[in-house]
Structure 1
Amino acid sequence: MGDLIGIAILIAISALFAMSEIAIAAARKIKLRVMAEEGDVKAQAVLTLQENPGAFFAMIQIALNAIAIMGGIVGEQALSPYIAEFVSLFYVGPLAEQISFFFSFFAITSLFILFADLLPKRIAMIMPETMAMKLVLLMNAVTYALKPLVILFNGISNLVLRIMNLPTEREEIVTTEDIVAMMDAGAEYGSLQQQEYHLIGNVFELEGRTLPTAMTTREYLVYFDIDDDSETISAKILEHPHNHFLICDGSLDKLVGSVESKEILRQLLKGEPVSLKEEIIDKDLFYLPETLTLSEALNAFKAAARPFAIVVNEYAMVVGMVTVKDLMSSFMGNLVTFHGEEQIVQRDANSWLVDGATPIVDLMRLLEIESFPNNSQYETVAGFLIYMLKRLAKRTDYVIHEGFKFEAIDVEGIRVEQLLVSRVVEAVIIPDEKIS
């Protein structure tokens, strides 16, 4: 009976060490840091142990191997008589001793696998932070008690790691992929609201999207010519009630400045004819290169404190205009509503009408497409179609990618205005029945 109690004690001790090994290794550093900042001493102890885990793991291996050896010795002595007696009820012969040894070995191994290894590690994986904080002080005490052996084996392992040119300490760097994975898990579990999930995802995309995905392109810009008369200016303001208008001298590539619509309104209220006087023109325009990411553009707006920027290409040609509102809408997505026509309209469960200027990243998120080929070569879905066709698109031209058909249905000149994106349903061919 004493040997059986000894086996139970060894299994319990082994379970503690196995549980602490997995729990401390699997405990999430971010969660522990939050608890440590709130004053949890045990959480801070786990963090300290994670930063220098060499001595801890050396102690764990010493303890587990010693317990395994002792378990084998004690277990065979404890169980062999009982198993031999049980075997003798069914078999008495020359192999009785070997059969009894096999069943004794199998029984003790099964007990250790189940109760000293498998179950404790499963528990530790389910709630790593909780178990790590419960066991960290005990493990630190055992490590201190076995310090001579720990120093010896830990020193040897560090030497081997240096010879292999491997780091001796864990350096935990939280990457964007790690955060996205945590977001996915939070959204699936329900701790992260759907709106919050989309907002955070859009913020991460700011670094991967460039200004052309958010700007108003050149052909849609409304501007005044320096020589426009009062009637022309008034008509443009009535048709396009914007806050700011560009002023050019003949073409957009010869910009003179900009004017606020309230300055023109002030002239009308005074009963004066509308004119682009020198004193109401702001000649200090804010320019941004089209290669900037949305994140870089936001920083530029913050530094310049301007309401809009002129987007130019490498040849100093105006390609569009972007406002702070455009940048905000790019990562706020559908959480806020801005007046204007939607770029993506769902027709039915398997098809969408898509504006040609729709950023490819928006379509990737909507259709859950992992990637587009060489997507650094284009920004919009129209650009994707042209890139895949290797020529300018015509009406009814299409390409198929990742189970979706991208078809041009509205082309104005050389511009793809609208596409029909539809899910490709594979046809099921039914063979003809044999005629008997």
Structure 2
Amino acid sequence: MSFSQSLFFIVLLILAGAFFSVAEIALAASRRLRLRQLADEGDARALQVLRVQEQPGSYFTTVQVSVNVIAILGGIVGEGLFSPYFAAVLRLWLPEGTAAVLAFAGSVALVTSLFVIFSDLMPKRLGLAEPERLAMALVGPMQKVLLLLGPAVWFYNQCANLLMRLLGLPTQRDDRITPDDILALAEAGTQAGVIDRPEQHVIENVFELDTRWVSSAMTPRDRIAWLRHDDSDEVVRTRIAAEPFSTYPVCDGELDQVLGYVDAKDLFQRVLHQQPIRLTDDDLLHRILVVPDSLTLSEVLQEFRQQREDFALIVNEYSTVVGVITLNDVMSTVMGELVRPEDEEPIVQRDDGSWLIDGHTPMQDVQRALGLDELPSADEYDTLAGFLMVMLRRVPRRTDQVVWGEHRFEVMDVDNYRIDQVLVTRADLAPAAGASPDS
């Protein structure tokens, strides 16, 4: 062949190689969720790509057979394509034998570079940038190539499947989407600016419902507003005016003797109609849902759904009331800072880089804010206060400190054994674990 014919053939081979490179990487990089969405919108090509992804063996075999044939033909045609011209120039300074060797090497290097750049690197980068669009555009032509190379593809597929089975290797990819996959996508979306950070936290919180115990979101025992069943009308009105809540447990003398609960809406109706409030009335008192403190928030949500309730009393193994929880408490845990008023933020970062954290804050939120990976004895506590108690092995006092990793946790305020505020700063010590009470 003449130089122009050889050059034209090389260009054709490069274009063919680029076609197969794009087809291969686009299919592999296409997102099934996006393809499913396009298929649901009526794009038949997306459905065709999804079918190929389910059984990609023949598709990729066609690509590999074609790519190898193109490489062999490119080597044959391009072996001496530029050698005469390079040799003619090099003979001006070098002996003929040396010039011929270097000219041949230069010709091979040039043709190889053309194939690498235009037939491999650029097409694959393009395929990664627009995988779904290109996969749908090329799946039809690739099916025609598959029919053309059918016998060879069948033979190589059978050989590859046989070897895969003998080696115990999987022949199909696992397309199941796990929670970790979704969280990774949310993190990638946040870094790309597509998802706001609070929205990413909402997604994370949804998946954490299975790992967060009910105690991380409940109102603890010492903060429960409750009523005695024999309270007078005046006492009830005074109590609900001082502590306005949507629901009040009604007890027989003490909190652990719960008879039921009353809804604030029913009480307000009586007030509006100037009727006396008697907690002994059966039409006011509702049967209360009682759940153990060993449930997760996900299990509590299931209880709410099954019992058609949005309020529950939480008891421990000794039937002692430890707190109450509402559907709103669970939803607030999921929504986080999207619904929480700024003045109620449990974790506040100060200008100097330190953190002020409420002692009742769940440790998952603390870990996320501080970037902590693992914590000691993590199954023994749910909140920051519990973490400090486990580390100190006693009830913390004001100014007590715990150093874990690169952070120092200092108790700033204690109210009746309840840790209200904890100051977290970067420790000046080398990264080490330990607890250091400061009396």
2:128 pairs with 1:125: yes
Q: Secondary structure at the match of 2:413?
A: strand
Picking from 295, 305, 310, the partner of 1:302 is 305
2:294 pairs with 1:326: no
How far the C-alpha of 1:338 sits from its partner, in A, is 6.1
How far the C-alpha of 1:163 sits from its partner, in A, is 1.3
How far the C-alpha of 1:262 sits from its partner, in A, is 5.3
Deviations 1:189-216 (A, max 9, x none): 3333455434333322322222111110
**Which deviates more from structure 2 when the two are superposed, residues 340-349 or residues 130-139?**
340-349
TM-score of the two chains, using structure 1 as the length reference? 0.89
For residues 260-271 of structure 1, the aligned pairs below 5 Å read 260-261=263-264
Q: 1:153 to 1:280 in 2, by over 3 A?
A: same
Q: 1:225 to 1:119 in 2, by over 3 A?
A: same
2:30 pairs with 1:16: no
2:407 pairs with 1:404: yes
How far the C-alpha of 1:172 sits from its partner, in A, is 0.6
Picking from 203, 207, 210, the partner of 1:207 is 210
Q: Secondary structure at the match of 1:181?
A: helix
Q: Secondary structure at the match of 1:276?
A: coil
Q: Structure 2 regions of 5+ residues with no counterpart?
A: 431-439
Superposed structure 1 runs of 4+ greater than 6 Å apart? 266-273
- What is residue 158 of structure 1 aligned with on the other side? 161
- What is residue 27 of structure 1 aligned with on the other side? 30
Contact 1:263 1:280 in 2 (8 A): no
Partner letter of residue 182 of structure 2? I
Contact 1:257 1:281 in 2 (8 A): no
How far the C-alpha of 1:263 sits from its partner, in A, is 5.3
Q: Secondary structure at the match of 1:320?
A: strand
CA distance in 2, matches of 1:266, 1:191: 47
Q: 1:340 to 1:272 in 2, by over 3 A?
A: farther
Contact 1:3 1:77 in 2 (8 A): no
Deviations 1:42-71 (A, max 9, x none): 212211111111111111111111111111
Deviations 1:296-329 (A, max 9, x none): 2222212212231011223322111011111121
Contact 2:248 2:264 in 1 (8 A): yes
- What is residue 108 of structure 1 aligned with on the other side? 111
TM-score of the two chains, using structure 2 as the length reference? 0.89
Contact 2:347 2:358 in 1 (8 A): yes
How far the C-alpha of 1:407 sits from its partner, in A, is 0.9
Q: Secondary structure at the match of 1:291?
A: coil
Picking from 419, 432, 438, the partner of 1:416 is 419
Partner letter of residue 294 of structure 2? T
Picking from 278, 292, 295, the partner of 1:292 is 295
How far the C-alpha of 1:112 sits from its partner, in A, is 1.5
Deviations 1:16-46 (A, max 9, x none): 1112111111111111111111111221221
Q: Secondary structure at the match of 2:403?
A: strand
Picking from 127, 140, 145, the partner of 1:142 is 145
2:214 pairs with 1:197: no
Q: 1:374 to 1:143 in 2, by over 3 A?
A: farther
Deviations 1:397-422 (A, max 9, x none): 11233433211112234432321122
CA distance in 1, matches of 2:308, 2:410: 41
CA distance in 1, matches of 2:337, 2:235: 36
CA RMSD of aligned residues (A): 2.5
Contact 2:247 2:264 in 1 (8 A): yes
CA distance in 1, matches of 2:421, 2:332: 21
Query: What number of residue pairs does the alignment pair up?
Result: 427
Partner letter of residue 99 of structure 1? L
Q: Secondary structure at the match of 2:256?
A: coil
- What is residue 241 of structure 1 aligned with on the other side? 244
Q: Secondary structure at the match of 2:253?
A: coil
2:71 pairs with 1:68: yes
Q: Secondary structure at the match of 1:277?
A: coil
Q: 1:42 to 1:279 in 2, by over 3 A?
A: closer
CA distance in 2, matches of 1:298, 1:182: 26
CA distance in 1, matches of 2:242, 2:342: 15
Partner letter of residue 131 of structure 1? L
Q: Secondary structure at the match of 1:256?
A: strand
- What is residue 258 of structure 1 aligned with on the other side? 261
Contact 2:412 2:423 in 1 (8 A): yes
How far the C-alpha of 1:375 sits from its partner, in A, is 2.6
CA distance in 2, matches of 1:268, 1:24: 68
Q: 1:307 to 1:108 in 2, by over 3 A?
A: closer
Partner letter of residue 331 of structure 2? M
2:347 pairs with 1:344: yes
CA distance in 2, matches of 1:262, 1:16: 69
Q: 1:142 to 1:271 in 2, by over 3 A?
A: closer
CA distance in 2, matches of 1:106, 1:272: 97
CA distance in 2, matches of 1:322, 1:56: 55
CA distance in 2, matches of 1:333, 1:232: 35
